[in-house]
A and B are shown apart, each in its own frame.
Chain A
């Protein structure tokens, strides 16, 4: 019987890390677009995990969360051992997928007509409401694209994960690390199996994204029509 745990661990990790990356990435993009000083420095730091080799990211994570570190000590005192835990796969995936979310969202924010925000301010709308009801809905397509990219990056994460979380079957073994183990053990059948699943998922995601990009205009119109239809019905 096939052990499906790598698929489940990969999906769990990718979904949770994308959820976390969404908030961090959107907030970072918002911050960088808003601030006037240190924009370049902040951008460099936020983008760094994208250009660094994943092993280097993993090394830094071990430095930060390892048993000798300050954070590691605190975690140990509450009974959590970060290294070789499932949580480590999530943290690794968040760190490496964060720059994709951040950069795509930032691009979307910068394309938004600033007059919309200015107008909202002069109309007395609070900054909180402006963010959730004006900025986010009008940059949603860009943010969606960022989410899809982050999800695929998290799903395929290997380097940082194997350094921090290891490769423990049933606990931290994702599809990527399972392929690595299978090849090391000369088990080509298992390797082929996981490779084809990863390929299938990646294909599906790319097709979804292209469809989304090509049809966002029609999609927007569809949504607006449906909304209107609903309101007309309510009026009658």
Chain B
């Protein structure tokens, strides 16, 4: 199974310009809200029409603006999990599932029984969606989608409608499902952690454009672009200039930094994750620290710091509470390790 997408669509403020190909894997679209993620899914499902381009599922052309092909959603066989699950409120769990099964008689009963068992819905069949918990609603929605036998699964922010304590449990269930589901899965989210845990490859979307497509480890280790670095949760970013092949100047921090990687000539930004600071004084990338503010977070300390006497924009330093107890704020030096610096060309 493979899904190929290459579409353009004007969205008022910006143009959606998406190109990717995915096979039997979990492929994530990661981006801030309003960047065109949901619109991309709607175009693939056939709910919205792209201005131009091609969408192909295996050998079947779902959409081709040049050949004037635009299959209706009913013929695309794409399972779409909506943010709020879109269960039909006038139907019970059983009716919601039965409604989409195309066969009749014994085959229909079999399919219903299979999905009810697979998603642990036994005992809930006669309840209406309004009587179910968030997790149960999602399981019903999944059962309904799989009963319609789709070739591709698309998940639009599947956890956004759930309370945080439920999220983890539902995510576990979803991970089990995805492991056994040998079809392309498109997963849309703005949460980097969800995306990292659930998917294999990640496309970062910014202003309707796919910035980079990477395996998840590549993306989080070396994000390459500003949008990707921001969405992967890097808190410290500064504009930067190249000095020589392994040295750069971070303008907003007033620091000259040595890096392991080759510094590209068209370097624009430099990033550094808040928990990678080392509490040592060394010959390179070290500076005396001035503490601007200390914020206690749930399980860690967030310390806003800057090079002493520089007056620049503060950097964020995250560390465990116990470690913070042992840090003496007087005469404190921090080091930015050379191999942990993220270089960005745009």
| Physical interaction between A and B | yes
Name B73's contact: one of A116, A121, A232 (CB within 8 Å): A121
Instruction: Tell me if A125 and B47 are in contact (CB < 8 A).
Output: no
Question: Which bracket fits the contact residues of A?
Answer: 20 to 34
Instruction: Tell me if A118 and B74 are in contact (CB < 8 A).
Output: no
Chain B residues with Cβ below 8 Å from A228 are 92, 126-127
Query: A215: shortest Cβ distance to chain B, in Å?
Result: 17
Residues B144-159 near A (CB distance < 8 A):
144-145, 148, 150
Residue B79 lies at the interface, judged by CB distance under 8 Å to chain A: yes
Name B79's contact: one of A122, A138, A231 (CB within 8 Å): A122
**CB-CB under 8 A for A122 and B126, given A116-B86, A116-B88:** no
In the bound assembly, the distance between CA atoms of A120 and B45 in angstroms comes to 12
Residue A45 lies at the interface, judged by CB distance under 8 Å to chain B: no
Tell me if B's interface is mostly helix, strand, loop or mixed.
loop
In the bound assembly, the distance between CA atoms of A227 and B95 in angstroms comes to 12
Residue B52 lies at the interface, judged by CB distance under 8 Å to chain A: no
Residue A3 lies at the interface, judged by CB distance under 8 Å to chain B: no
Count of interface residues, chain B, beta-carbon cutoff 8 Å: 31
Instruction: Tell me if A125 and B86 are in contact (CB < 8 A).
Output: no
Smallest CB gap from A116: residue in B: B86
Query: A235: shortest Cβ distance to chain B, in Å?
Result: 9
In the bound assembly, the distance between CA atoms of A124 and B149 in angstroms comes to 10
Residue B20 lies at the interface, judged by CB distance under 8 Å to chain A: no
Residue B181 lies at the interface, judged by CB distance under 8 Å to chain A: no
Tell me if A's interface is mostly helix, strand, loop or mixed.
helix
Instruction: Tell me if A124 and B46 are in contact (CB < 8 A).
Output: no
Query: A46: shortest Cβ distance to chain B, in Å?
Result: 27
In the bound assembly, the distance between CA atoms of A178 and B127 in angstroms comes to 53
In the bound assembly, the distance between CA atoms of A138 and B130 in angstroms comes to 13
Chain B residues with Cβ below 8 Å from A118 are 42, 45, 47, 73, 80, 82, 86
In the bound assembly, the distance between CA atoms of A165 and B214 in angstroms comes to 76
Name B74's contact: one of A113, A115, A126, A227 (CB within 8 Å): A126
> In the complex, which of the residues B76, B90, B102 has the most CB atoms of chain A within 10 Å of its own CB atom?
B90
Instruction: Tell me if A119 and B99 are in contact (CB < 8 A).
Output: no
Residues B70-116 near A (CB distance < 8 A):
72-80, 82-84, 86, 88-90, 92, 99-100, 102
Residue A123 lies at the interface, judged by CB distance under 8 Å to chain B: yes
Q: Mark A133-166, 1 if CB is under 8 A from B, else 0.
A: 1100110000000000000000000000000000
Residue A224 lies at the interface, judged by CB distance under 8 Å to chain B: yes
Residue B4 lies at the interface, judged by CB distance under 8 Å to chain A: no
Chain A residues with Cβ below 8 Å from B42 are 118
Chain B residues with Cβ below 8 Å from A113 are 84, 86
In the bound assembly, the distance between CA atoms of A26 and B61 in angstroms comes to 36
Smallest CB gap from B127: residue in A: A228
Residue B196 lies at the interface, judged by CB distance under 8 Å to chain A: no
Residues B21-48 near A (CB distance < 8 A):
42, 45-47
Query: B89: shortest Cβ distance to chain A, in Å?
Result: 6
In the bound assembly, the distance between CA atoms of A115 and B83 in angstroms comes to 9
Chain B residues with Cβ below 8 Å from A126 are 74
Chain A residues with Cβ below 8 Å from B47 are 118, 121-122
Instruction: Tell me if B145 and A123 are in contact (CB < 8 A).
Output: yes
Smallest CB gap from A113: residue in B: B86
In the bound assembly, the distance between CA atoms of A138 and B90 in angstroms comes to 6
Q: List 22 A-B contacts (CB under 8 A).
A: A113-B84, A113-B86, A116-B86, A118-B42, A121-B46, A121-B72, A121-B73, A122-B46, A122-B74, A122-B78, A122-B80, A123-B144, A123-B145, A124-B148, A126-B74, A133-B99, A138-B89, A224-B128, A227-B92, A228-B92, A231-B126, A232-B126
Q: Which 8 A-B pairs have the closest CB atoms?
A: A119-B86, A121-B73, A137-B90, A115-B86, A123-B100, A122-B80, A123-B148, A118-B47
